[in-house]
Amino acid sequence: MVFVSIFLLSFLLVVHIWGHIHQITDARRCNAPIPVEKCVNNNLEVRWYYDKTANKCHGFLSKSCGPNLNNFYNREECVYSCIKPKCKVLPSAGTCGGRYVIMWYYDFYDKQCKTFLYSGCGGNSNRYYDEVECYENCING
């Protein structure tokens, strides 16, 4: 029994440390300068970078000629690593007990905006008035 407890505790510690290291790595990548490639290379491919001022991921034609932290293989990788976490949290109905209204939230796992009932106060930032606003904040990143 002691062995199982030690194993479980060790496993949880490793998972916690791995998650913390992954967050630091993402922060370094997302805050790195926008890629500027100055090499002579005709092998162009579409890559993505994170624009921290606009909080959006943008595509660019990469010559693949040098390392850059802020350089992602696809848009999904960029969004997952860099877009503010508001789009990653589960929706919250809030704390009021009054009249509920239909609002929109981004379901990060299904990669789509969905409706939920909001009480009118409290809750979290993954809450939008309409589907367009939801997609603009979370998908068009």
Domain ranges of the chain: 26-83, 87-139
Q: What is the band of 84 on the pLDDT scale with cuts at 50, 70, 90? A: low
pLDDT at 116: 96
- Better-scored residue on pLDDT, 70 or 34: 70
Average of pLDDT values for 14-25? 38
Find how far residue 14's CA is from the centre of its chain.
23
Contact 137, 106 (CB under 8 A): yes
Domain 87-139 of CATH type 3.40.605.10: no
Percent of the chain with pLDDT over 70: 76
- Better-scored residue on pLDDT, 83 or 9: 83
Q: Helix, strand, coil % (nearest 5) of the chain?
A: 35, 20, 45
Asked if residue 136 has pLDDT above 90, the reply is no
Query: Would the CATH topology of 26-83 be identical to that of 87-139?
Result: yes
Contact 141, 57 (CB under 8 A): yes
- For the stretch 103-130, pLDDT in tens is 999 998 888 999 999 998 888 889 999 9
- Better-scored residue on pLDDT, 102 or 75: 102
| Identity of the amino acid at 38 | K
- Which CATH code for domain 26-83? 4.10.410.10
Longest dimension (CA), the chain: 63
Asked if residue 8 has pLDDT above 50, the reply is no
Phi first, then psi: give them for residue 84, nearest 5 degrees.
-50, 145
